[in-house]
Amino acid sequence: MDVVGEIGAHRVVDLGCGEGFYLSALIADPTITELVGVDVSPRALERAERRLHLDRLPDHQRAKLTLRQSSVTYRDKLLAGFDAILLIEVIEHLDPDRIPSLEENIFGAARPAHVVMTTPNRDHNRLYGLPEGQLRHPDHRFEWTRAQFQDWARAVAGRHGYRVEFRPVGDVDAEAGPPTQLGLFTREDSR
């Protein structure tokens, strides 16, 4: 949420919004003028609607929110032109062969001014007592080390005219780094 405020985003997409954890904070933020929550799961969107208490929100808050069923691997023209797309703990739920579709749809087609992406830091898993190779969640298809995430992110940024900055999320261990890693992508022509 701090990053969204820092970049001055007013029109935001939470792609892979799940049950609406971040949507609830974003919808309450008066600087956010348009908010789209997208998830592949209709059940998650129903839970988000309940969590947000849309039936009890003031009209001005309810009017700025749209919930949509879609996927990060589908091109969606309605996601183009936003200030920011959030991909919070999403990419690790994709099969690796689907990541190029995410890249093309988000960075190539939607082209928001900013993409805020977080993903687990596999280097940190040993501090949770996980044996080598075990993932944090049964639905994770993979988890990247810091080096793997940074290599991927720099390549994507370079291919699509973005620059990327990396930040830790959570307490940083001297050897293992933070539990979660954040990449803040900024489109070069949006400075």
DSSP secondary structure string, 41-77?
-HHHHHHHHHHHTGGGS-HHHHHTEEEEE--TTS--G
Q: What residue numbers bound the domain in which 49 lies? A: 2-190
Q: Cβ(180)–Cβ(120) under 8 Å? A: yes
> How many domains, the chain?
1
CATH of the domain at 66: 3.40.50.150
Dump pLDDT digits (tens) for 8-27: 999 999 999 999 999 999 99
Q: How far apart are CA 180 and CA 19, in angstroms?
A: 20
Token pair for residue 6? 């820092």
Report helix, strand or coil for 190.
helix
Encode pLDDT of 127-150 as tens digits: 999 998 899 999 999 999 999 999
Contact yes or no for 71/103 (Cβ under 8 A): no
